[in-house]
Amino acid sequence: MSPCRFCEIINEPKKANEEVVFENEHFIVLLDKYRQTSIGGICLIVPKFELDEYEASEIINLISFIGKKMQEAYSARGIRVWTAINKEAGQSIFHCHIHLVPCSRFMDRLTAMIPGIYDILRRISKLNKSALNSERLFEYAEKIRIQINTN
């Protein structure tokens, strides 16, 4: 079994410079490497390890903080926030993560809500298997990092 992609990045965040948007003691915020909406990248908020109740509750402020920075970075009023618990709900990477999806039009909400359909279209159209190229990823991440660092 290959190691969890999130754990790999948590252990060596510098190797994923084009994806990592923010990091603190308990969480890392990444861009989804495989999906985007019409206005920007999708952020994933990932706890670094099993958190206690008090530590876990910090995620609310982090969702609010990153959501506001995404709104500024992508001129996105709408943000869809979601997570899936267990495969019956659509979880595919079994390391807790929360999706923050910048939304402007209805298709963005579909991308936000049915990642599987987005993936099928991507495969049919034979887009690069590693999806978003690293320049695009870096550009999306940098827009958010600039908002985080300048305010």
Residues that bind its own copies (CB under 8 A): 53, 56-61, 67, 76-91, 101, 103-105, 108-110, 112-114
**Least separation, in Å, of the C-beta of 85 and its own copies?**
4
Distance (Å, whole) CA 25 – CA 10: 11
Distance (Å, whole) CA 83 – CA 76: 20
Distance (Å, whole) CA 69 – CA 75: 10
**Least separation, in Å, of the C-beta of 138 and its own copies?**
25
Closer by beta carbon to its own copies, 15 or else 105: 105
- Backbone φ and ψ for 28, nearest 5 degrees, come out as -130, 145
- Backbone φ and ψ for 8, nearest 5 degrees, come out as -60, -45
Closer by beta carbon to its own copies, 95 or else 138: 95
Closer by beta carbon to its own copies, 113 or else 131: 113
